[in-house]
Amino acid sequence: MLFGRRQRSIEKLLVVEDEPLVAFDTERMLTDQGFTIIATVDRVADAVRVIEAGAPIDLVLVDINLADGSGIDVARSASARGIRVLFVTGACPVDAETVAVGCLAKPYTQRDLVGSIDAIESAAEGRSPPRLPGGLRMFGGGSPMTGLT
């Protein structure tokens, strides 16, 4: 595209966040950046329901500590369907590498969140990201479980 936004391979996002202000700000900012928000939910059960319904999701952004359980359960459901997961949390879980492409530490800036999505997209396309945003830990290896194929 000559003028306008570049075509993304990661466009459709599921946001799983139980802090209402964080969820609202994330959804608004990502929409402004040209992403499509498939759903914004605050519970594990709702997120799993969206995933299992077969919604077209390219990436799940999920917090770990949710009101009705752990974001790890959301990540397991998503990764079982080949959907990439980015944990956005204050404490990255020990076994995160088995179900996610990375962890972005809270608090993070909007620029770091978009940069993290761009870095995941670059890795998925076999390109090296120019620079990783602050607070992002990426897991690699090209495993289908991590979605970096």
pLDDT per residue as tens digits for the range 26-66: 999 999 999 999 999 999 999 999 999 999 999 999 999 99
Between strands 84-89 and 69-70, the pairing is: unpaired
Distance CA 93, CA 83 (A): 18
Cβ neighbours of residue 104 under 8 Å, at least 6 residues apart? 86, 87, 88, 89, 112, 113, 116, 133, 135, 136, 137
Domains and CATH numbers, the chain: 12-127 (3.40.50.2300)
- pLDDT at position 77 over 80: yes
Answer whether 39's CB lies under 8 Å from 50's CB: yes
Return the pLDDT at 1.
Answer: 43
Q: What is the pLDDT of residues 103-128, one digit of tens each?
A: 999 999 999 999 999 999 999 888 88
Distance CA 17, CA 136 (A): 18
Return the pLDDT at 11.
Answer: 97
